[in-house]
Structure 1
Amino acid sequence: MRLRLTNEFVIYFLIRVSLVIFIRLTELFRLSSAYTHIHLAGWGMIALAGMIYHVFQTAGATKLTQVHDQFLMIGIPLLCIDIIFSRLGQYEIGSLINWVGGILILFGVIFFVINAMNNVRVMARS
């Protein structure tokens, strides 16, 4: 799982850098919040999860880790697509995508917190 999180971390970093370059070249600066969300939600959350799962290896070996990862890997792109549509004035397209993406991210974070708290507590007792 740690290798998978590292790959996802690197992919989100590449997407973020590519989007920044695209925004700068096309001067579509109203899309800048999209790359900020990709950076914070994608790159930041995956990096944090990867570090915690590396330090607390029992947390990274649970089924909940895979569930948390899947929710984030679906939710984060949906939320970023919504931001792009909204910034381009397509609010009716982005609204449903926003709800679905946001709820998936919320559940992914909840599963991550439950997993980390349960397994960090177990390792602290050992």
Structure 2
Amino acid sequence: MLVCSGCGGGSDGRLSASGTVTLEGAPLESGSVVFSNESGVSAGVGIINGGSFTIQEAASSSGIQPGTYNVAVNSWEKEPGSVDDQGNIVDEGVSRIPEKYNDPKTSGLTATVSPDSQTFSFDLKSK
């Protein structure tokens, strides 16, 4: 994980957090990044668009509280529960990335959000 400095923060202590996600060095075109606390509870989610994301804590507020988080990344070709071209429900999804990245406990990805650390780069490996 590469961590770079950033700026921004709200009066309630939330900080902006953003970054990039690549797979073998190429931008991951779509998906999501989930920052979870030690208990596994989601603290913020960012939608990946063209390899970039910005963390949103909730629909009504942006940013994330300072702290250390385990990170999960999801990117689906066919998402579980979606409908395929023939109108059938997809029971098991088809992921663009290795399954280990889908769970913050197995991804091996972490991020420490602080006033001096708000921009993150995650380079995923296909194996």
Question: So what's the TM-score if we normalise by structure 1?
Answer: 0.27
Bigger Rg over Cα: 1
Higher relative contact order at CA 8 Å, sep ≥6: structure 1 or structure 2?
A: 2
